[in-house]
C-alpha cells in the first residue's frame, strides 16, 4: 500500500519508507535467527535474540507510532478513491495470504479483516 501511495502522491510516504529501510535489516536478522532456532533448537541463545531485537527495536517501535497518522482515513482519501483503496488493500491481503506461514502469519491478516460495527 505504501509504495502505491507514494507513486500517487510523491512524498506522502517518504518518512515511512525511510523508516522501513532503517529497521528492515534487523527484522531480516531476527527472521534468520528464528529460522535457525526452529531448525536446530540448540542454536537458540537468549542473549543473541535480545541483542538482535535491541539493535532495531526502538526504531521499529517509533515507526509504528509514526505510521498511525499516515493511515488516518482523511489522509488516505486524498490518495485513494474508495474503489482504488479496496483494490490495493485486496492485492496486499492476497500477497500476505500467499506468502505467510499459515499458522504464524495469517492470524495477523484475519484479525483486521473481522467485521466491525459502524
**Dihedral angle at the C-alpha atoms of 58, 64, 67, 68, nearest 10 degrees?**
-130
**Number of domain units in the chain:** 2
Which structural domain, as residue segments, surrounds residue 29? Answer: 1-78
Same domain? 60 vs 12: yes
**Strand locations in the chain, DSSP E?**
none
Same domain, 2 and 55: yes
Confidence of residue 42 (pLDDT cuts 50, 70, 90): very high
| C-alpha cell belonging to residue 87 | 483494490
Q: pLDDT tens-digit profile of 59-77? A: 999 999 998 888 888 988 9
- How confident is the prediction for the chain on average, in pLDDT? 85
Q: 105 and 51 in one domain?
A: no
Claim to verify: residue 58 and residue 97 sit in the same structural domain: no
Considering the domain architecture, whether residues 71 and 104 belong to the same structural domain is answered as no
pLDDT tens digits, residue range 78-110?
999 999 988 988 888 888 888 877 766 665 555
Is 50 found in the same domain as 32? yes
Amino acid at each position: 500500500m505504501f509504495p502505491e501511495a507514494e507513486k500517487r502522491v510523491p512524498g506522502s510516504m517518504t518518512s515511512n519508507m525511510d523508516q522501513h529501510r532503517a529497521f528492515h535489516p534487523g527484522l531480516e536478522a531476527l527472521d534468520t535467527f528464528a529460522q535457525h532456532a526452529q531448525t536446530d533448537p540448540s542454536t537458540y541463545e537468549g542473549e543473541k535474540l535480545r541483542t538482535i531485537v535491541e539493535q532495531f527495536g526502538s526504531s521499529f517501535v517509533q515507526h509504528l507510532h509514526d505510521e498511525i497518522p499516515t493511515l488516518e482515513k482523511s489522509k488516505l482519501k486524498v490518495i485513494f478513491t474508495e474503489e482504488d483503496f479496496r483494490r490495493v488493500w485486496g492485492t496486499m491481503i492476497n500477497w500476505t495470504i500467499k506468502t505467510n506461514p499459515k499458522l504464524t502469519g495469517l492470524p495477523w491478516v484475519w484479525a483486521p479483516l473481522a467485521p466491525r460495527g459502524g
